[in-house]
Structure 1
Amino acid sequence: MIKSLTVSHSFHLKLATVALAILGLSGCSGVISGAGPYKGAIESENTTYNLVEINANTIAPYMRSAARPMQASIAKPVAPSARLMPGDVLSILITDNAPEGSALFAPLSTGGTQLKTRINDQGKISLPYVGQPFVAGMTLSQVEALIVKQLKGMTTDVQTHVELVGDLSGSVLVAGAVKSPGRFSTLQGPLTLLDAVNQAGGPVMEPHLVNVTVRTGNQVQQFNYEDILAGNNMVLRPNSEVVLERARQRFVAMGAVGEPGLKDLPAQNTSLLDALSSVGGLREGSANPEGVFVFRMGEGDQAKPTVLRLDMRDPAAIFYARQVVIKPDDTIYVTNAAVHEWQKIISPVVQTMMVGRVAGIQ
């Protein structure tokens, strides 16, 4: 019996010693975190980054901007003059009103002579009496004038009408993150950027996660698809290329949050509160509300990184978190509460000591 009491006393003494050691450790390092740096270490003086305590006096540079208003203007499609290129198919109507017997083509009264020709890889077409003129780079009206010029002297009164019926020069290529990529014709009329994307089935992701690149051959423009929906639409030039790609709109959530990992920003102008909500919020029972940090790389070669800190125990911090903007590549880090770390440390120690106690009693 005396041996049992001695072992029990020794066990409790060791347990108390471990607890005091852990309390001392927490006092030295601030709040312990098992998923990253200690809260105290982040808050200590350093030359690597700027630590900003978010409050009413410091929040202004980190607030999200106001939502941009929707534009009332619309893109008005105006048919541009398409420049022909190899692969285009032309339908050519030639009428010849010369006296009967001297006409090379059918007269207008009978519907004229209808011809169809494709521009070959050398940029030429082939027509009877006209030969093989080079037409690549010309407009339809220029081809009409060329045919009339080539037939001059062969007949007295010829008229032509040229129509593009199979086009590469007038089409638009849509590729990338759309449901049905492909080349879309402008024969039915000019296409706006929204027209082209809609004909390709629309983007496969949320609008704010899609960047749009428009190439025209001598100019490159980039947009966020959400901005296009807000009214920043445009008429596409023939033979343009439209490429939709995933925008780099991601952040990292670490520490005591519900769903840590690499996440998509839930909106284009995401607040810290929205971002925390999208990862399940602070983990109940293990998070330290006083240790909510946002790590942000500096902008520019000389700019130092910034670490923002919020004390979520302050009721006003909820409003601050609603106003602070989260940028792509930010890292949100929530430290663990000290008691959670103590439990992780004490549990295996207690289990080991309990095993030793049982062995000692036996």
Structure 2
Amino acid sequence: MFSSKFRWARPIAVVLSASVLASCGLPGVGPTKNQIFAGSVQREGDAFVVAINDRVTRATAFVPALGFSDKLKSAGIQSADIIRPGDVLGLTIWENVDDGLLAGATSNATALENVQVDGSGFIFVPYAGRIKAAGNTPEAIRRIITEKLEDQTPDPQVEVRRTAGDGASVSILGSAGVQGIFPITRPTRTLAAMLANAGGVGEVAEIAQITLTRGNVSETIWFEDLYDHPELDIALRDGDRILIQADQRSFTALGAAGAQTRLTFESQTLSLVEALAQLGGLSASTADPTGVFVFRNEPAEIANAVLGRTDLVGAQRLIYVMDLTEPNGLFMARDFLIRDQDTIYVTEAPIVQWNRTIASITGTLGGAQSLGSVATGGTVTE
């Protein structure tokens, strides 16, 4: 009788020791599912823990919109013919005499190349003097020069050409085919045409973003939207700055996920199941599929909608929990959207925690087998 009681005293002692060790906190990848629930507002904690369902998925399906303002979209296309300070002109003047004012003895044509419009908007033409070029078209300048010369040489013929200069231009930076400063010419007066002129974008089209800065205002669109919505192909203005870069949104993964890391979004919208796929799925040996958590600071309007309240003010800490073993678990994970700065945390399976506890007592990783040996009075070997 006594030996039988003593034989069961050892495993009971082991279990009690395991419980003590577990309560003291053994090493692990992070908090357990019960510890997260213990920190909920419902248990006088400081975060709301909410199970993901179809209603929650709909309430949180918010993706920040990108687009240009009406002010940018309504700006008209500027004429590429208007001359501006810094533009470079080419002039050719024909005279109807053998020995003209400008032409040599053997030629009746004079070419003046690289005539730059100065900061005040003027150019200088011999015998015609200083001529106001900025604000005029090449045709208007041609007429002015003709009028200035016709009293000095019979029937002058004038050609005015606008060439690329350092006048109206935009700068393109980031992941463009070619970075640099590009003049606004007749073929490149809109955003899409200018990007094509710069060699397109170097990022994956689905996550490429175009940011246009005009003055002190910056606005961003998705590159794909530029072609899906023609109204976003806005007219450019002198001094515009265009930045091409990949989507900067990211999320962090911790716990028993396939990887513990920080990843950027690979698509414009990213669901929980897609985020887990980016991580390589759940760890087959350690993950608890009933304990997939998403930690997020939620705006008050969304938090109120999720919790069915109206009194919350300011950002709220919400912890969404997903049980992938439910019949509709994967469907809900497919529909639940991840947002910028989210943290995905996967808890460890209870058996992993139990084995770690037993191993700390028995000195072996075969926790369950070791406990069985202790219960039957056998010896434990390494």
List per-residue Cα deviations over 1:67-97 (Å, max 9, x = no partner): x9xxxxxxxx977235444543211133445
Q: Per the alignment, in what secondary structure is the counterpart of residue 357 of structure 2?
A: helix
Number of the residue aligned with 2:174? 176
Structure 2 gaps of 5+ residues are 1-6, 67-75, 301-312, 365-369, 371-382
Number of the residue aligned with 1:250? 250
Number of the residue aligned with 2:305? none
- Cα separation, partners in 2 of 1:190 and 1:78, compared to 1, 3 Å: farther
Cα distance in 2 for partners of 1:150, 1:216 equals: 39
List per-residue Cα deviations over 1:211-240 (Å, max 9, x = no partner): 212245586442122322434551542544
Cα distance in 1 for partners of 2:294, 2:223 equals: 27
User: How far did 1:323 drift?
Assistant: 0.7
Q: Per the alignment, in what secondary structure is the counterpart of residue 129 of structure 2?
A: coil
Q: Does 1:329 align with 2:337?
A: no
Cα distance in 2 for partners of 1:221, 1:12 equals: 67
List per-residue Cα deviations over 1:291-317 (Å, max 9, x = no partner): 111112223771313221111110201
Number of the residue aligned with 2:79? 80
Number of the residue aligned with 2:30? 36
- With the length of structure 1 as denominator, give the TM-score of the two structures: 0.75
Counterpart contact for 1:292–1:309, Cα < 8 Å: yes
Number of the residue aligned with 2:236? 237
Structure 2 residue identity aligned to 1:36: G
Cα distance in 1 for partners of 2:27, 2:148 equals: 85
Cα distance in 1 for partners of 2:92, 2:150 equals: 16
Number of the residue aligned with 1:223? 221
> Which of 206, 209, 212 matches 1:211?
209
Q: Per the alignment, in what secondary structure is the counterpart of residue 41 of structure 1?
A: helix
Counterpart contact for 1:64–1:324, Cα < 8 Å: no
1:212-361 alignment, distance < 5 Å: 212-216=210-214, 220-232=218-230, 233-237=232-236, 239=238, 240-299=240-299, 302-351=314-363
List per-residue Cα deviations over 1:95-152 (Å, max 9, x = no partner): 445xx4796466xxx8843321332653442321122335345443443344245436
Cα distance in 2 for partners of 1:121, 1:349 equals: 86
Larger mean CA deviation between 335-344 and 267-276 belongs to 335-344
Number of the residue aligned with 1:93? 92
> Which of 51, 57, 60 matches 1:59?
57
- With the length of structure 2 as denominator, give the TM-score of the two structures: 0.72
Cα distance in 2 for partners of 1:169, 1:218 equals: 20
User: How far did 1:256 drift?
Assistant: 0.8
Q: State the Cα RMSD in Å.
A: 4.2
List per-residue Cα deviations over 1:5-37 (Å, max 9, x = no partner): xxx9997665343234467x49xx9xx993333
Cα distance in 2 for partners of 1:15, 1:217 equals: 72
User: How far did 1:322 drift?
Assistant: 0.7
- Cα separation, partners in 2 of 1:96 and 1:214, compared to 1, 3 Å: farther
Number of the residue aligned with 2:191? 193
Structure 1 residue identity aligned to 2:228: A
Number of the residue aligned with 2:69? none
- Give the length in aligned residue pairs: 335
Cα distance in 1 for partners of 2:150, 2:60 equals: 73
Q: Per the alignment, in what secondary structure is the counterpart of residue 123 of structure 2?
A: coil
Structure 1 residue identity aligned to 2:173: A
- Cα separation, partners in 2 of 1:320 and 1:80, compared to 1, 3 Å: same
Cα distance in 1 for partners of 2:216, 2:251 equals: 35
The percent of aligned pairs where both chains have the same amino acid is: 27
1:114-133 alignment, distance < 5 Å: 114-119=111-116, 122-123=119-120, 124-133=122-131
Cα distance in 2 for partners of 1:268, 1:289 equals: 26
Structure 2 residue identity aligned to 1:342: W
Counterpart contact for 1:171–1:184, Cα < 8 Å: yes
Structure 1 gaps of 5+ residues are 1-7, 69-76, 355-362
Structure 2 residue identity aligned to 1:227: D
Moved over 4 A (4+): 8-14, 100-103, 185-188, 216-220
